Amino acid sequence: MIALETRYGFRIDIRVAGHADEPALDDIIAAATLAADREGGTGEVAISILPDHKGKGIGWTLLDHVAREARGWGIGRLQSIESRDNRAAIALEREMGFSARAVEGDPALVLLERVV
């Protein structure tokens, strides 16, 4: 995990190399980023997983870890913006307690939020 303090806030980056099923894999197969302003009220989370590694619990694990880190940094709410077509990500986030609503002005996007 890499934690960076930026001029306007902070960002936490998490990268996953390998997987229990493929311990010799050295390539990064997933990444998560948490970004927030200095006040720390709301953080935005983004997770990306290579297609061949989706459906193995990596997204769930990363999102759970990001939520715990957010609490540790004093962030009270997480947000994620997803394409309406990304049904798997929306389902995962809703399963983890995120509520979903339309992004005003862009019918192709969904805003997901959760109190941490």
* Per-residue pLDDT tens digits for 22-81: 655 567 788 888 888 767 689 999 998 888 888 989 899 999 988 998 888 888 999 999
- Can you tell me the distance from the alpha carbon of 88 to that of 46, in angstroms, rounded to the nearest whole number? 14
CA 38, 66, 68 angle in degrees (round to 5)?
90
Judging by DSSP bridges, how do beta strands 77-83 and 42-49 pair with one another? parallel
What is the CATH number assigned to the segment(s) 2-115? 3.40.630.30
